Structure 1
């Protein structure tokens, strides 16, 4: 974080400053800011956030032992450290992020990109960060830091020398992206897609679209909206951009896209396409598996282009990315038994894309095996969407379908109903049972996809299989 005095921070947070014995209001702090006492280091600021399971105020002492010099708290704690008492620690975190980013922006050349979408946010964020890091100091979220806590924590990592901030915005409901993006007003607003991920919590896909459009509405005046025009709901956000006076750049396979891909090809070694931009036809060879990642790459190329990075340079940097993120189409195992661990998240769109990728990368004499868990947060659409994925797996001729957990049983029944009989589809009650089964079932030449929502935890089963066949 940038250097601020204790008095300045207290003023920003409208909080009560309680000084430790050796501090004054003019004491300067510039350390990392976090809600996790385990990642504190000398000079850090600890935000004591109440939680559903435990309360951060219990860990102020641990944070101080690890080096924290300031605690932001909702009530004073009996620990010798300067404290700023606020009404709401999470709101204070957002207020501090807004102030820090505004100061850096006013004093330097900071450019901000915001990314949202039902799928692909983290991969696109990683792609764009890889492109921009060769241009200047770039701050981007760790993992999927995209909520009311993670997004401000990322923002607070900017310093006076930061040139680019890439923010990823998830949505807990209508209004949440507006609150988060409103903290920084991005120069570039990237919307990837509107899908059924979390639709149950939004009340339907149209409400999901409304939530994603908040990023365009929150962009800085004179900024640019980068929109996936292959998705009609995202393409329709051009009208929002026009009303805001924003420039627009479209990406996708649609001929009208300013950054367009053609000739997509997926193999076990990666994904390729031709990128058409500014009159040039540029080959792209990603090491990352999956045709759906071409769209994420196009979004990153388009956003980087708005920031002045040549498409040829962007492509060269993207081609060095080996894994989009842990547990996202992550290759594991060995050449005999290849495991693709893609179980960090799952929606109907990403599940379908992963199954198609599995079918595409499996050659003659090899066998497709899909280990599938439930898709969460689909609301009333859950049953129908699990049915649809079961049907798709059979129609793609996935040769072994291993369904894990009671929440995914309907997917198994759908596969059976479509004709996946005689052991081609099996249902396992839990991960341990699935692991025992797969130890004896998997054989040389198998290509294995592990896919589920994060809450189901099949990523850990994927890790176990990857280690077994390493």
Structure 2
């Protein structure tokens, strides 16, 4: 972390200093449970709890300074050392922006670069971030988000992990409204911006897919003319963003678009469902073979996006191909494969879900399940707005048309998926609806057989990733229902 004194923090955030001006925090946390000796604790209000209520715990754990929206005193009446700001989250952003500026300045003075890469898209951000971070890590000190830290709080927390020795800073950028990505771009000023795709995730919040495209395009709009926009030419809405940036444009395509500078030639998946292809990069006389350890043909675009961004950052093609070939999924619940000792295979892809990623996961299940009994355990796709019933209906129809052996639909929010599968011709025990994850667990625990292949997929807050974890364990005798709590 770049060092800031309490006095500097107050100046940068336009806050009021109620502390020794020389206090210099060693880290920044927003969760009192993560505070360590030397931490700056940011007491931000949240949806479920107010961080101000945990300031005592943060200082007991070793915090030396707090960023607060109202001053607070300890049990003895002594005020906690604090910087009082109007908005703690915006203050974090201002501090993060200054941290990036200082890192650039320090490295420039030493004749070295800091390359900042921003990644956005309706699906694939975390996988692409992990791939790119893996490639960069072999080249120099790299900082990337934990999990899916991609919002107005997560991005600053990622920045605070960087220091003067950081060569690459990879930032994942999410949004639930117009202007959110623009705010993050202004904060970190990326040199390279990657737009993966415009899907229907969060369509209800955005007010439609066109607004999603408008929001995602804020990344390329915010790039400097000296930067590079990495554009997915297989997505028409993303391809149209070429006219929204003054930066150089580097297009990629997994579908053979002739105007794409980065392509996957001779693309296929092997027997394990892993993508394989010959990577074509700009100006290269030869291709580089990539044999990925990720599962599913839908990752082809993520692999190419990471390759294009690494190329734009100056990484040699041989190193890019080696990095792509060596990496499995680094973040949990993204096509995470578990082989049980009894021969049952679990694919847990339930970190998140939207219609595009749901269709891709089901196609992968069907491809991998040739000659096996396949199970799709599906929960709701949230935040689809007025398209909710239509999109769930389409998924139910797809399950039947892909000849997936068994469908288990969990939770009332996904019931339209179950109904559409029945209407498409799935009868009897081929299609089951359960109210809770516990009911689904009992069914699966009783009926799974050696050789079965099981996919779990739902939006994050539905919680099927936890059901997938339970099923990935060795088979157990079902317990009475009152001894377990529902995961939903």
Q: Which residue of 1 aligns with 2:234?
A: 230
Q: Which residue of 1 aligns with 2:52?
A: 57
Q: Which residue of 1 aligns with 2:36?
A: 41
Alpha-carbon separation, structure 1, partners of 2:408 and 2:277: 32
Alpha-carbon separation, structure 2, partners of 1:410 and 1:266: 34
How far does the alpha carbon of each residue in 1:415-456 deviate from its partner, in whole angstroms, 9 at most, with x for none? 111111121111111100000001112111111100000011
CA RMSD of aligned residues (A): 1.3
Segments of structure 2 that go 5 or more residues without pairing to the other structure are: 108-112, 477-488
Q: CA deviation at 1:311?
A: 2.1
Alpha-carbon separation, structure 1, partners of 2:239 and 2:415: 36
| 1:296 equivalent among 292, 302, 311 | 302
Q: Which residue of 1 aligns with 2:441?
A: 435
| 1:311 equivalent among 317, 334, 358 | 317
Alpha-carbon separation, structure 1, partners of 2:258 and 2:401: 29
Could you tell me whether the CA contact under 8 Å between 2:143 and 2:166 is conserved in 1? yes
> 1:270 aligned to 2:265?
no
Q: CA deviation at 1:271?
A: 2.4
Alpha-carbon separation, structure 2, partners of 1:39 and 1:318: 33
Q: Structure 1 residues 247-256 or 340-349, which shifts more? A: 247-256
Taking structure 2 as the reference length, the TM-score comes to 0.92
Q: Structure 1 residues 172-181 or 312-321, which shifts more? A: 312-321
Could you tell me whether the CA contact under 8 Å between 2:233 and 2:239 is conserved in 1? yes
Q: SS in structure 2 opposite 1:182?
A: helix
Q: Which residue of 2 aligns with 1:341?
A: 348
Q: Which residue of 2 aligns with 1:32?
A: 27
Alpha-carbon separation, structure 2, partners of 1:144 and 1:301: 20
Could you tell me whether the CA contact under 8 Å between 1:268 and 1:362 is conserved in 2? no
Alpha-carbon separation, structure 1, partners of 2:122 and 2:136: 23
> 1:180 aligned to 2:187?
no
Q: Which residue of 2 aligns with 1:356?
A: 363
Q: Which residue of 1 aligns with 2:99?
A: 100
Alpha-carbon separation, structure 1, partners of 2:408 and 2:236: 34
How far does the alpha carbon of each residue in 1:185-204 deviate from its partner, in whole angstroms, 9 at most, with x for none? 11000000000011111111
Residues 179-198 of structure 1 aligned to structure 2 (within 5 Å) = 179-198=183-202
Could you tell me whether the CA contact under 8 Å between 1:266 and 1:357 is conserved in 2? no
Could you tell me whether the CA contact under 8 Å between 2:296 and 2:364 is conserved in 1? yes
Alpha-carbon separation, structure 2, partners of 1:270 and 1:6: 50
Equivalent pairs counted in the alignment come to: 461
Q: CA deviation at 1:469?
A: 5.1
Alpha-carbon separation, structure 2, partners of 1:311 and 1:455: 39
Residues 196-207 of structure 1 aligned to structure 2 (within 5 Å) = 196-207=200-211
Q: SS in structure 2 opposite 1:237?
A: helix
Residues 142-181 of structure 1 aligned to structure 2 (within 5 Å) = 142-181=146-185
Q: SS in structure 1 opposite 2:382?
A: coil
How far does the alpha carbon of each residue in 1:111-161 deviate from its partner, in whole angstroms, 9 at most, with x for none? 100000000000000000000011111110000000111111111211111
Alpha-carbon separation, structure 1, partners of 2:225 and 2:64: 38
Could you tell me whether the CA contact under 8 Å between 1:266 and 1:361 is conserved in 2? no
Q: Which residue of 1 aligns with 2:71?
A: 76
Q: Which residue of 1 aligns with 2:482?
A: none
Alpha-carbon separation, structure 1, partners of 2:351 and 2:416: 21
Q: Structure 1 residues 85-94 or 50-59, which shifts more? A: 50-59
Could you tell me whether the CA contact under 8 Å between 2:293 and 2:325 is conserved in 1? yes
Segments of structure 1 that go 5 or more residues without pairing to the other structure are: none
Alpha-carbon separation, structure 2, partners of 1:183 and 1:457: 32
Could you tell me whether the CA contact under 8 Å between 1:275 and 1:284 is conserved in 2? yes
Q: CA deviation at 1:81?
A: 3.9
Q: SS in structure 2 opposite 1:468?
A: coil
Runs of 4 or more, structure 1, over 4 Å off, are: none
Q: CA deviation at 1:266?
A: 4.5
Q: CA deviation at 1:323?
A: 2.0
How far does the alpha carbon of each residue in 1:55-82 deviate from its partner, in whole angstroms, 9 at most, with x for none? 1111111111111111000111113642
Could you tell me whether the CA contact under 8 Å between 1:333 and 1:465 is conserved in 2? no
Q: Report the CA distance shift for 1:394/1:324 in structure 2 as closer, same or farther (over 3 A).
A: farther
Q: Which residue of 1 aligns with 2:288?
A: 282
Q: Which residue of 2 aligns with 1:468?
A: 474
Q: Which residue of 1 aligns with 2:252?
A: 251
Alpha-carbon separation, structure 1, partners of 2:68 and 2:216: 32
Q: Which residue of 2 aligns with 1:407?
A: 413
Residues 8-19 of structure 1 aligned to structure 2 (within 5 Å) = 8-19=8-19
Could you tell me whether the CA contact under 8 Å between 1:333 and 1:467 is conserved in 2? no
Alpha-carbon separation, structure 2, partners of 1:269 and 1:324: 17
